[in-house]
């Protein structure tokens, strides 16, 4: 994403925290600021403008932002023309307060203000300090949905919805990203057709709760129909989506896994806990047995489906028995991978007021044990893949550069020796070794 800065251009150093939504927004930021003569640079020392695109889903992510700002303080002292800006979820949460707390921050833009960024940067160039964190109305939001920029990659993310209405009791997302809105189906399909025309082979549909896409917008397609339409686009060979909510997995979506080979054999389906009592307190809208029934139905539709998930450990009031129920969920689901977190108290959320907050020590011990067990399960699953033949989309050169790299249908990284002409192609690979973070394969030869 970085380019050479010439005498006519200015350097933009952009630091992105958090989820794929922020990564997509950052791409948009780079393309918006090109119009003002800014080009992305790889080092803050080369920057005229430093922007932090922030995440506040856990307290740790939020405090990281202040650590980074601390590092830039000296730069600002040495170069008073340097502009420093903060966007994303922390910006949305803090707004004007951030300008007061950190006097060398020049601009603050919230999650609904991306389109105003060029104006804010121009104001900062004139020496004005501003913060914009207003939520905008649905119609305006629909017209401003960020389109993915052309990065020349074979795999791309496409944002299909924003915000969330679920109000899980621990989660800050509905407060900082606003109400859930589904992007227009026609626009999504047009964007994917254009991507396919440019050589994109795999797309991942993106949203906080993708499988509720269209439920509140009768004029748009339902999620399963959207997938069917995308699968008919020539050139698109793989479709993925993230994140899904177990409560909103419809029979039509399950049928897609049975009927659409382009839909990859992987779903990210966070459970958050294996205990019914905790799930109810979390306001997740499903029980453990409903979640397990959904996983079973998905696996009946697509045998071998890889399931990944998110778990929160140490939710207020979580007993030893609740925690054991979560551990046993790992055994029943056998997650291919799991993202697990210590419960983090977030401002405004209902759970911050719940009794029974656990100590850091208890939470950490529970998390360590859960992560140890999940590492074993992941290892067992990867070891079990050795000797199998996997269909891999070759995406480019491996990190070390001496091999090609791609991902299996289930989204596991595979490195394989081969000719660079294979980049962009789907090939069969025999897995010959499994490492903690990747698989090693060789080109499959019949017979
Ligand atoms: N919408 C997605 C869903 O419901 O599964 C998740 C979006 S959230 C940005 C990503 C993950 O962060 C959640 O699945 C949850 O596990 C975790 N998370 C959210 N709030 C948290 C909190 N207060 N403490 C710890 N983890 C949290
Ligand atoms: Fe947060 Fe729940 Fe919405 Fe996911 S579904 S973003 S966890 S409120």
User: What does the pLDDT read at residue 143?
Assistant: 86
The structure tokens 């800065």 sit at 5
pLDDT digits (tens, 9 = 90+) for 194-247: 999 999 999 999 999 999 999 999 999 999 999 999 999 999 999 999 999 999
Contacts of 205 (CB under 8 A, 6+ apart): 158, 160, 188, 213, 226, 227, 230, 239, 240, 241, 242
pLDDT at site 3: 56
* pLDDT tens digit sequence for 15-57: 999 999 999 899 989 989 999 999 999 999 999 999 999 999 9
Please tell me the predicted confidence (pLDDT) of residue 148. Answer: 74
Distance between CA atoms of residues 408 and 388, nearest Å:
11
Digit-coded pLDDT (tens) for 321-364: 999 999 999 999 999 999 999 999 999 999 999 999 999 999 99
141 lines ligand 1 (CB under 6 A): no
Q: What percent of the chain has pLDDT over 90?
A: 91
Strands 38-40 and 306-313, sheet pairing:
unpaired
pLDDT tens for each residue of 300-309: 999 999 999 9
Distance 170 CA to ligand 1 centre (A): 8
pLDDT tops 70 at residue 82: yes
272 lines ligand 1 (CB under 6 A): yes
Confidence of residue 368 (pLDDT cuts 50, 70, 90): very high
> What's the pLDDT tens digit per position in 215-227?
999 999 999 999 9
What confidence category does residue 2 fall into, taking pLDDT thresholds of 50, 70 and 90? low
Report d(CA 95, CA 111) in Å as an integer. 11
Query: How far is residue 53 from each of residues 20, 30, 85, 89, 400, measured CA to CA in Å?
Result: 12, 12, 9, 8, 29
Indicate the pLDDT class of residue 447, thresholds 50, 70 and 90: low
Q: Which protein residue has the closest C-alpha to ligand 1 atom 14?
A: 310
Of the candidates 221, 351, 355, 340, which has an alpha carbon nearest to the alpha carbon of residue 273?
Answer: 340
Q: Residues 240, 231: contact at Cβ < 8 Å? A: no
> Does the C-beta of 104 come closer than 6 Å to ligand 1?
no
Indicate the pLDDT class of residue 6, thresholds 50, 70 and 90: low
Any idea what DSSP says for residue 442?
E
Q: Any residues with Cβ below 6 Å from ligand 2, and which?
A: 164, 166-168, 171, 173-174, 208-209, 245
CA-CA-CA-CA torsion sign (394, 396, 400, 403): positive
Ligand located closest to 178 CA: 2
CA distance 329 to 313: 13
> pTM above 0.75?
yes
Distance CA 20, CA 208 (A): 10
**Residues 275, 284: contact at Cβ < 8 Å?**
no
φ, ψ of residue 139 in degrees (nearest 5): -60, -45
The CA 245 to ligand 1 mean position distance, Å, reads 11
CB atoms under 10 Å from CB of 24, counted, come to 20
pLDDT per residue as tens digits for the range 98-131: 999 999 999 999 999 999 999 999 999 999 999 9
Give the pLDDT of residue 68.
96
> Chain-centre distance of CA 211, in angstroms?
15
Shortest-distance atom of ligand 1 to CA 342? 25
Give the 3-state secondary structure of residue 441.
strand
For atom 5 of ligand 2, the residue with the nearest CA is 166
Cα–Cα distance, 192 to 175 (Å, whole number): 30
Radius of gyration of the chain (CA): 23
Gap from CA of 280 to ligand 2 centroid (Å): 14
Predicted pLDDT of residue 4: 57
Q: Name the H helices within 79-184.
A: 88-94, 96-101, 117-125, 138-143, 173-177
Query: Ligand 1 in contact with 211 (CB < 6 A)?
Result: no
Residue 7 has pLDDT above 70, yes or no: no
The tens digit of pLDDT for each residue in 249-278 reads: 999 999 999 999 999 999 999 999 999 999
Flag whether pLDDT at 72 surpasses 90. yes
Cβ atoms of 404 and 422 within 8 Å: the answer is yes
Nearest CA to ligand 1 atom 6: 208
Asked whether the predicted pLDDT for residue 430 surpasses 60, the reply is yes
Q: What is the pLDDT of residue 5?
A: 59
Name the residue of 93, 174, 341, 367 whose CB sits within 8 Å of the most ligand 1 atoms, as the mutation to test its pocket.
341
> In the predicted model, is pLDDT for residue 166 greater than 60?
yes
Provide the mean pLDDT of the chain: 95
């Amino acid at each position: 994403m970085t380019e050479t800065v010439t005498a006519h251009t200015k350097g933009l150093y952009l630091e992105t925290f958090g989820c794929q939504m922020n990564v997509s927004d950052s791409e948009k930021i780079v393309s918006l600021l090109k119009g003002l003569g800014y080009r992305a640079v790889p080092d803050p020392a080369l920057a005229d403008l430093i922007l932090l695109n922030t995440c506040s889903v856990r307290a740790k992510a939020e405090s990281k932002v202040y650590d980074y700002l601390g590092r830039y303080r000296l730069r600002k002292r040495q170069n008073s023309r340097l502009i420093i800006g903060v966007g994303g979820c922390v910006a949305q949460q803090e707004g004007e307060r951030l300008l007061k707390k950190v006097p060398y921050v020049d601009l603050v833009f919230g999650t609904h203000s991306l389109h105003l960024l060029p104006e804010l940067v121009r104001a900062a160039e004139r020496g004005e300090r501003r913060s914009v964190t207003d939520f905008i109305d649905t119609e305006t939001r629909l017209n401003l949905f960020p389109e993915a920029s052309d990065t020349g990659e074979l795999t791309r993310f496409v944002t299909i919805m924003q915000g969330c209405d679920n109000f899980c009791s621990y989660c800050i997302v509905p407060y900082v990203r606003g109400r859930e809105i589904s992007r227009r189906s026609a626009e999504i399909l047009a964007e994917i057709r254009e991507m396919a025309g440019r050589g994109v082979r795999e797309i991942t549909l993106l949203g906080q709760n993708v499988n509720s896409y269209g439920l509140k917008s009768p004029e748009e397609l339902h999620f399963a129909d959207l997938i069917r339409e995308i699968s008919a686009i020539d050139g698109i060979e793989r479709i993925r989506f993230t994140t899904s909510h177990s409560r909103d997995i419809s029979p039509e979506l399950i049928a897609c896994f049975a009927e659409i080979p382009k839909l990859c054999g992987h779903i990210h389906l966070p459970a958050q806990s294996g205990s019914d009592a905790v799930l109810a307190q979390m306001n997740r809208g499903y029980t453990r047995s409903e979640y397990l029934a959904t996983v079973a139905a998905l696996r009946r539709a697509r045998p071998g489906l890889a399931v990944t998930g998110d778990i929160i450990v140490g939710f207020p009031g979580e007993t030893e028995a609740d925690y054991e129920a979560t551990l046993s969920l790992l055994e029943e689901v056998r997650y291919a991978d799991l993202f697990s977190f210590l419960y983090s108290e977030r401002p405004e959320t209902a759970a911050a007021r719940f009794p029974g907050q656990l100590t850091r020590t208890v939470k950490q011990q529970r998390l360590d044990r859960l992560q140890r067990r999940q590492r074993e399960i992941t290892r067992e699953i990867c070891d079990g893949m050795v000797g199998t033949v996997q269909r891999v989309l070759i995406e480019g050169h491996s990190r070390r550069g001496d091999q090609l790299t791609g991902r299996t249908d289930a989204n596991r990284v595979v490195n394989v020796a081969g000719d660079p002409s294979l980049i962009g192609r789907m090939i069969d690979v025999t897995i010959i070794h499994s490492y903690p973070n990747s698989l090693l394969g060789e080109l499959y030869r019949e017979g």
